[in-house]
Amino acid sequence: MVLVVPLLLFIGVTFLAPLGMMLLRSVHDPVVADALPETLGILGEWDGEGLPPEAAYEAIARELTRAREERTVGQVAGRVNRVESGMRSLFTRTARGLQDVTEGPWRDVMVGLDEAWGQPAVWNAVRATGQRFTARHYLNAVDMQRLPDGSVTRQPEERRIYMSLMWRTLWVSGAITLLCLVLGYPIAHLIAHSPPRRANLLLLLVLVPFWTSLLVRTTAWIVLLQTQGVLNDILVAIGLVGDDGRLTMIYNMTGTIVAMTHVLLPFMVLPLYSVMRAIPPRYMDAAASLGATPAQAFRRVYWPQTLPGVGAGSLLVFILAIGYYITPALVGGSSGQLISNMVAYHMQTSLNWGLAGALGGIMLAGVFVLYVLYDRLVGIERLSLS
């Protein structure tokens, strides 16, 4: 028992803690609340109609000046900008302008610096981003938004991206799972019922891609599938397609599906193989002696007994596919991107970690639902990973 502690610590530090922090970040955003406490206190009494009282202008002027001195005004501006575009420049410009002003009336000063301060939308944006705990990222992740009056509606058409991306991720993962099953089932059957020497050799062939670098494998697909690639050259050479009609098989969804199916195939084959190996060939003989045709014997006797392996393999491939990042990034082009590429974008480029966390949280919940569903339908104790 004690010997497991290092592993548990390792998992805790490198997996559970970051996971928890990301999930926390998806609902908890204290930047604005920490920077503008007084302003937000006053705005709390404001009804959202018309303009807030002079006190609010005074407070935000003071707090923006302080934020500028503490160099946090950029962060605050960025947060508010996510709710209302144009806010970033408004905030930085106003903060810069305020340094020359020492006394009010603050409303006139600020509207003087930028007319936008005379519009309620700006104040609503400030108030919305000022909440420490917010469902904003989750709403955002499912293409919804909260209006100033507090009601929740869908994003305008042109800003809906995540839901369609999630559906795309789901159906692509489903298609890849199905492809892996269709391709993997026969080979697993062949390996499971071959004599040991041949079985080992075949298993090795299945596993070789496992031991090859992901990048090498992906690059190989690029060489094969690209417009000037091997496959297209062959098709042109045998006259199946014209030189100007070369097929686009990569940097789109086709590329993503082909490469990911290849990468994930072993995860389907191994659990299937281990389940099939445990099925004595005698069962098929028995079915035949009882009068069943090979098809009947397969459908009624063999297939049901492989279901734990089918379930395990499918679950594994599907879950891995949902979260797959590197392959779509390399061969997916713009139409072959999946939800995890969007998560990566928000982590690395837009730095909207809250939204990245929310997208990740939704995927995590989806996988968990699948797991529970599987448990209900098949029973998780029958899940059999090689």
Partner 1 sequence: MTAEEGVVGGEGAPHVAFEGVSKSYDGTTLVVKDFNLEVAKGEFVTLLGPSGSGKTTILMMLAGFQSPTTGRIRIEGESVEDLPPRTRGIGMVFQNYALFPHMTVGQNLAFPLEVRGMSGEERHERVVRALKLVRLEGMDDRRPGQLSGGQQQRVAIARALVFEPSLVLMDEPLGALDRSLREEMQYEIRRIHRELAVTIVYVTHDQQEAMVMSDRIAVLKDGVVEQIAPPEVLYEEPERAFVARFIGENNRLHGRVVSVDGALCDVDAGREHIRALRVVDCEPGDRVTLSIRPERVSVNPEPGTFGNQVGATVRDLAFLGDHLRVHMEACGRKDFIAKIPNIVGHGGILVGDTVRVGWTVTDCRVLDYETKSDRKEEDDETT
Q: Point out which residues bind partner 1 (CB under 8 A).
A: 280, 282-283, 285-293, 296, 300-301, 304-305
Which of 366, 364, 358, 318 minimizes the C-alpha distance to 342? 358
* Residue 362 in tokens: 């939704």
Q: How far is the CB of 289 from partner 1 (least distance, A)?
A: 4
Q: How far is the CB of 374 from partner 1 (least distance, A)?
A: 17
For residue 153, the SS3 value is: strand
- For 133, list phi and psi in degrees, rounded to 5: -105, 130
Q: How far is the CB of 292 from partner 1 (least distance, A)?
A: 5
Return the number of other C-beta atoms located less than 10 Å from residue 332's C-beta: 24
| Gap between the Cα atoms of 216 and 173, Å rounded | 22
**Residues ≥6 apart with Cβ < 8 Å to 242:** 236
Q: Is the Cβ of residue 28 or residue 189 nearer to partner 1 in the bound state? A: 189
For residue 154, the SS3 value is: strand
- For the chain, how are helix, strand and coil distributed in percent, rounded to 5? 75, 0, 25
Q: Is the Cβ of residue 44 or residue 291 nearer to partner 1 in the bound state? A: 291
Q: How far is the CB of 20 from partner 1 (least distance, A)?
A: 41
Q: How far is the CB of 296 from partner 1 (least distance, A)?
A: 5
Q: Is the Cβ of residue 198 or residue 299 nearer to partner 1 in the bound state? A: 299
On whether the CB atoms of residues 328 and 256 are closer than 8 A, the answer is yes
Q: Is the Cβ of residue 6 or residue 280 nearer to partner 1 in the bound state? A: 280
User: Which amino acid, one-letter code, is at 168?
Assistant: R
Q: How far is the CB of 313 from partner 1 (least distance, A)?
A: 18
| Gap between the Cα atoms of 272 and 192, Å rounded | 9
Q: Is the Cβ of residue 132 or residue 300 nearer to partner 1 in the bound state? A: 300
Q: Is the Cβ of residue 85 or residue 305 nearer to partner 1 in the bound state? A: 305
